[in-house]
């Protein structure tokens, strides 16, 4: 099969990471162009990318380009999806697609109208350990699924500026866990109870957000899922997952930079978990692009759809309502939907 010619829209930290991954790790893709208001031509040259432009349209109009990676600021995702779909480009879009269900729905419709694929950047689904856990559940290794446990804690609270435009912790952070709950269980979320707190930094509370949460989900068929979130650990990026069922419990643990254990007078010392999502999900970031390019090449459906994004945003909305009203919220209630 032939190579897929690709453009990347957006060249911030994450856009540059995706561009570099395409060049180095996705041999089936040819990265032709990157667009960004702040494009750095030294950087594109270094990666051997022929076209560096400030104009997204140069990407959308290029007839050679078959697929685009959207990594612009979140607030512009839906508009860029629409434009790419019109231009007939297959689309991979960084999460969040949007904070409100209506916008995501419109993105889904645009992709359908354009006849293009639309994959969403829930990268964790491509992590080797998580993927194996999901397969084990699907194949019945844990028997009937009774529960999931997800620990997701960031190493360091984000800047208050980011907090203000993040859509709130449930939409920006917990959303990964809500998707993971659906992915691991293969089931939809029926009810959400979210207990939130400001325990890390009062400034986050002052900005109208929380930094700590315990979210309990009831999944279709009755299994319970608990999500444990914090914006700051001090000991690295804490990512742990468990699936518990009638036959046993499967556990995914943290990764560490080295395996060194130091047995010394006073204690045994090991490395803390990997410091951030960049290192932890390094392989997953590559695999999600490989999977997308593979689907573009052979026309098979993408593994993570905008419908998945929609389901996760709806659950995030329910979590917010639950927290604000301090009550469990069913997903089939008329929720208010979107982010702040």
Gap between the Cα atoms of 228 and 215, Å rounded: 7
To the nearest whole angstrom, how small is the minimum distance from the Cβ of residue 212 to its own copies? 6
Closer CB to its own copies, 74 or 322, in the complex: 322
To the nearest whole angstrom, how small is the minimum distance from the Cβ of residue 199 to its own copies? 4
Cβ–Cβ under 8 Å, residues 137 and 186: yes
To the nearest whole angstrom, how small is the minimum distance from the Cβ of residue 20 to its own copies? 9
Closer CB to its own copies, 57 or 144, in the complex: 144
CA quadruple 303, 306, 308, 309: dihedral, nearest 10 = 130
To the nearest whole angstrom, how small is the minimum distance from the Cβ of residue 117 to its own copies? 25
To the nearest whole angstrom, how small is the minimum distance from the Cβ of residue 184 to its own copies? 12
Q: Centre a 10 Å sphere on the Cβ of residue 106 and count the other Cβ atoms it contains.
A: 17
To the nearest whole angstrom, how small is the minimum distance from the Cβ of residue 284 to its own copies? 12
CA distances from 317 to 41, 80, 171, 183, 336 (A): 40, 23, 8, 19, 7
Handedness of CA 253, 256, 259, 264 (dihedral sign): negative
Closer CB to its own copies, 205 or 337, in the complex: 205
**Ramachandran area for residue 323 (φ above 0: left; ψ -120 to 50: alpha; else beta):** alpha
Gap between the Cα atoms of 160 and 8, Å rounded: 28
Closer CB to its own copies, 162 or 269, in the complex: 269
Gap between the Cα atoms of 204 and 322, Å rounded: 19
Closer CB to its own copies, 103 or 212, in the complex: 212
Write out the H or E segment, with its range, that includes residue 12. Answer: none
To the nearest whole angstrom, how small is the minimum distance from the Cβ of residue 31 to its own copies? 12
To the nearest whole angstrom, how small is the minimum distance from the Cβ of residue 231 to its own copies? 10
Strand 67-70 with 4-9, pairing = parallel
Structure tokens at 144: 């009937």
Closer CB to its own copies, 267 or 299, in the complex: 267
Structure tokens at 48: 């051997």
Closer CB to its own copies, 54 or 246, in the complex: 246
Q: Where are the alpha helices (DSSP H) in the chain?
A: 13-25, 41-46, 56-60, 77-86, 101-114, 128-138, 160-165, 169, 175-185, 202-206, 277-280, 282-298, 306-325
Helix axes 306-325, 175-185, angle to 10 degrees: 120
Closer CB to its own copies, 139 or 301, in the complex: 139
Closer CB to its own copies, 86 or 270, in the complex: 270
């Amino acid at each position: 099969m032939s190579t897929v010619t690709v453009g990347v829209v957006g060249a911030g930290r994450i856009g540059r990471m995706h561009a570099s991954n395409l060049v180095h790790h996705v041999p089936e893709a040819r990265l032709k162009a990157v667009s960004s208001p702040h494009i750095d031509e030294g950087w594109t040259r270094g990666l051997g990318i022929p076209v560096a432009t400030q104009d997204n349209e140069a990407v959308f109009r290029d007839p050679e380009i078959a697929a685009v990676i959207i990594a612009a600021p979140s607030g512009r995702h839906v508009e860029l999806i629409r434009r790419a779909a019109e231009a007939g480009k297959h689309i991979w879009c960084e999460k969040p697609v949007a904070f409100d269900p209506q916008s995501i729905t419109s993105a889904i419709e645009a992709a359908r109208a354009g006849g293009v694929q639309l994959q969403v950047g829930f990268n964790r689904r491509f992590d080797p350990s998580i993927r194996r856990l999901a397969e084990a559940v699907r194949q019945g290794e844990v028997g009937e699924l009774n529960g999931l446990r997800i620990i997701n804690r960031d190493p360091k609270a984000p800047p208050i500026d980011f907090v203000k435009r993040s859509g709130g912790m449930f939409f920006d952070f917990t959303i990964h866990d809500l998707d993971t709950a659906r992915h691991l269980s293969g089931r939809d979320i029926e009810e959400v109870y979210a207990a939130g707190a400001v325990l890390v930094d009062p400034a986050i509370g002052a900005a109208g957000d929380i930094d700590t949460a315990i979210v309990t989900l009831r999944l279709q068929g009755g299994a319970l899922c608990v999500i444990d979130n914090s914006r700051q650990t001090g000991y690295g990026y804490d990512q742990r997952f468990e699936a518990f069922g009638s036959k046993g419990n499967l556990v995914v643990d943290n990764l560490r930079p080295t395996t060194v254990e130091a047995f010394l007078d006073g204690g045994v010392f090991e490395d803390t978990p990997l410091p951030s999502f960049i290192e932890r999900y390094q392989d997953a970031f590559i695999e999600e692009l490989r999977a997308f390019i593979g689907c573009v090449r052979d026309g098979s459906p993408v593994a993570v759809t905008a419908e998945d994004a929609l389901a996760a945003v709806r659950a995030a909305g329910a979590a917010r309502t639950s927290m604000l009203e301090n009550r469990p919220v069913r997903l089939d209630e008329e929720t208010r939907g979107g982010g702040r």
